[in-house]
Chains A and B, each alone.
Chain A
Amino acid sequence: MTKQEQVKAIFIEEAGEIIEKLDVDILRFEEYSGNYDLLNEIFRGVHTLKGNANAFGFTRLGEFVHHFEDILDHYRSTKEEIEIHNLELIVNSVDVIKEVMECELDAHPELPGGYGECLERIKHLIAAKTGKTRAAVPEAAPEELRDLASEFGIGCAEAFNETITRSIELHQSIREEGLRLYRVDLTLDNDAYKRGFDPLGFIRLLNDNAKSVESFFDLENVPSLEGFACDENTLGRVVCIVLSPKTPAEIAENFEFLFDHEYAVQAIEPPVVQVPQTEEKPKEEARSSSKPGGESSTGGMSASKSTIRIDTFKLDELFDSVGELVIAQNFIAQNEKIHAIEDESITRTIETLSKITKRIQDRVMSLRMVAIRDTFDKMKRVVRDTSKKTGKELALIVQGEETEIDKTMIDSLSDPLIHIIRNAIDHGLESSAQERLAAGKKAEGTITLRAYHKSGSIVISVSDDGRGINKERVFQKAIERGIITGDENLSDSQIFGLIMQPGFSTAETISDLSGRGVGLDVVKTSIEKLRGKIEIESREGEGTTFSMVLPLTLAIIDGMLVRSAGEIYIIPTLSVVESFRPEREIVHAMKEKGEFVSLRGQHIPVIRLSDVFSLPTERIEPWEGILVCVETEAGRIAIMVDELLGRQQVVIKTLGKSLARLREISGGAILGNGDIALILNVDELRPLIEGPHAGN
């Protein structure tokens, strides 16, 4: 990746963050539309986005954001109350910004559908507002206008400084060996042109041999024509950020004919990443210690560097290396030859190594973990939009926003969550307030979004207090659709699970939100790709809860180690229901249908791993082995193994191309003794019969 591409990648990431924040802030503003501090914050984000978009040639995004900024600017400077329909336009504009950004990233020649209309509405609004303002002060003298501008300019001066700070940060990121970064401030006197000096002339000199020069003209003091004379310098300051191999003396030499007060050259040192000495050190103290030279004219840039950006690829590499470290440490800890050495110091060293390795593993793991707050914040927008579209009044309750989850999973979680939430509002809640009141509920529906830890997993649940799932109707529909035959003896959760089968929908009307019969099956597949599962609980008349049960991380799996025909396999603990040695009486064999075990009224198919993988072994009866009962997408199965070896967290290793074709295997792991174990993909372990299991 070239430096230019790196800078562009940083822009894209930052723009994504700005837009995400915009999405959340605009919703907060909709709720508290009198909060002009929040509007200022939104304005600053939009302003930065505009500057960056234009700088990187994303002109369509730049143009839209430019006009959008005008609207925000109008309201923040006039503090005029925003009319409901205009607030809606502002919220919708953020959607367009998101879509345009995607078009820009994909270099898509066509603009999103709503772009033109939204832009026109914004322009129309600006024109209308400007007209109003002008009408209010029809004879406004230039002096009055200047007053307004200067009042309004307080925020813009901040924006100017922020833009410079951002430029410095960008240049820091492309800084190479042998290059120095300078900030040059030019404040030329009014007679500068007459003396033969022009800021552009100096910028040309600075650009000589430089890698990059970015200059910022502050036009705040440029008067209207009445007070303007073109041969007088009316520019305020001009700030140049220069990345050049030249020495400070060589840079300063360019200004030797200017008065001392007309220029300032400052060499900017590379940022120093501050690492807190102890965890107990108060944050404020840590911050102040990062500014040893007092207040810096770079806007306290080094102080804000309490975090650094790390490529997730590097994190993954680090994580892999730690995985190897854990394996090596386990190998040492379990090595019999090392154990045979009766030396206390060696034993103590191994114990210390074990502790340190565990600590490193935990720390590295925590680097990948982020709070789910941002994802939940995004869902607030989904709830708001769906509520408006369906016309259902509802309250959103969010719990457990601080719950941390693997960053990789967060990225894949949004779409399933959006679908479930829309589904809950569109179909879960009663269709009208009257229906709710008639059912003895309050008119306003409630959606609860919750994240929490449970038995080493993370659960993200979406609950509604709606009408609940009609179990009978689901069962009948599944028969009509040929998903089940009707002879099955299904548990409640299995019946509810049928709604996630492809093509299943009990919705009588298809909306653009949900009810198309596609979606929940895709949600299920998405969650399963994350090695998770969906559980549905519902009580008719009371509501429904969709719970996504996810592993803590994608890189490590909590597994049950089993042995079959001399080979070790790992069964993901998340799928395991129970394990037992069956009594002879509960095992049955049916011709052409294989072996079954009867467990609490259910007939569960028995799957021999030795058969699945064609392992040569002496055939024993099920009651001589162990059955591990697991939940799969097609129902419960009982995996027959010779021995249970224990439960262990293992680092997942991907398999080579040849083994990847084996659907029954989802990965491999290296055990402490150096042995390799295969991780079973339980959903692909098929009994002799197909279709839902646990039938009569």
Chain B
Amino acid sequence: MRFDGDVLTIDLSMTMEEIREFEQFIRPRIEYVETIDVEEGSGLASSALLALLASLKRTRRELNIPFIERGRTASPVYGTLHWMCYD
């Protein structure tokens, strides 16, 4: 996880423990983050992170999370994943 100016870059392949830490980190800082980017080449390892990112977006609509906004990702491990955030 890297914080560069207003952009927070995270690794998608977080373990459950790391996701908890990320959640604790972002909760008090959500107003200061403009964008949450993902590390290039990293793949989603837990649905909990997807849910957390969706929750962040729901909490603060103007927060820019390109990964969530894209609505899909594809990998050889899972095939194609789509999600709908309703926001």
Contact = CB atoms under 8 A, between A and B. Distances in A.
Nearest to A228: B55
B73 to A, nearest CB: 10
A213 B72 contact: no
A160 B51 CA distance: 17
A214 B79 contact: yes
Given A130-B61, A200-B45, A222-B58, A210 B79 contact: yes
A235 interface: yes
B1 interface: no
Contact of B81 (A51, A163, A217, A224): A217
Interface in A397-436: none
A230 B48 contact: yes
A55 B70 CA distance: 10
Interface string B40-66: 000011111111101110110110000
B54 A219 contact: yes
Nearest to A223: B55
A149 interface: yes
Contact of B58 (A163, A206, A215, A224): A224
Nearest to A242: B79
Contact of A149 (B30, B47, B50, B86): B86
Interface residues of B, number: 37
Contacts of B84: 156, 159-160, 163, 216-220
B72 A55 contact: yes
Nearest to A224: B59
Contacts of B69: 66
Nearest to A134: B61
A149 B16 contact: no
Contacts of A55: 72, 80
Which of A66, A163, A203, A219 has the most chain B CB atoms inside 10 A of its CB?
A219
Nearest to B80: A214
Contact of A225 (B27, B71, B81, B86): B27
A159 B55 CA distance: 21
A233 B30 CA distance: 22
Contacts, number: 121
Interface string A41-71: 0000000001100110000000000100000
B52 A230 contact: yes
Contacts of B78: 200, 203-204, 207, 213, 215
Contact of B83 (A66, A217, A224, A233): A217
Contacts of B87: 149
A692 interface: no
A234 B52 CA distance: 9
Given A193-B48, A198-B46, A219 B85 contact: yes
Which of A142, A152, A206, A231 has the most chain B CB atoms inside 10 A of its CB?
A231
A66 B66 CA distance: 12
A501 interface: no
B72 A225 contact: no
Contact of B47 (A160, A198, A212, A220): A198
A142 B77 CA distance: 35
A675 B56 CA distance: 78
A7 to B, nearest CB: 12
Interface string A300-327: 0000000000000000000000000000
B2 interface: no
A554 to B, nearest CB: 41
A317 B61 CA distance: 55
B22 to A, nearest CB: 8
A90 to B, nearest CB: 21
B51 A145 contact: no
Contacts of B51: 219, 222, 228, 230, 233-235
Interface of A: 50-51, 54-55, 66, 130, 134, 142, 145, 149, 152-153, 156, 159-160, 163, 193, 198-200, 203-204, 206-207, 210, 212-220, 222-226, 228, 230-231, 233-235, 238
In the A-B complex, the 3 residue pairs with the closest CB atoms: A213-B79, A217-B83, A224-B59
30 contacts: A51-B71, A54-B70, A134-B61, A149-B58, A153-B86, A156-B84, A156-B86, A159-B84, A163-B82, A193-B48, A198-B48, A200-B44, A200-B46, A200-B47, A204-B78, A206-B79, A207-B77, A213-B79, A216-B84, A217-B47, A218-B83, A219-B50, A223-B58, A225-B27, A225-B30, A230-B48, A231-B16, A231-B20, A231-B48, A233-B48
Interface of B: 16, 19-20, 23, 27, 30, 44-52, 54-56, 58-59, 61-62, 69-72, 77-87
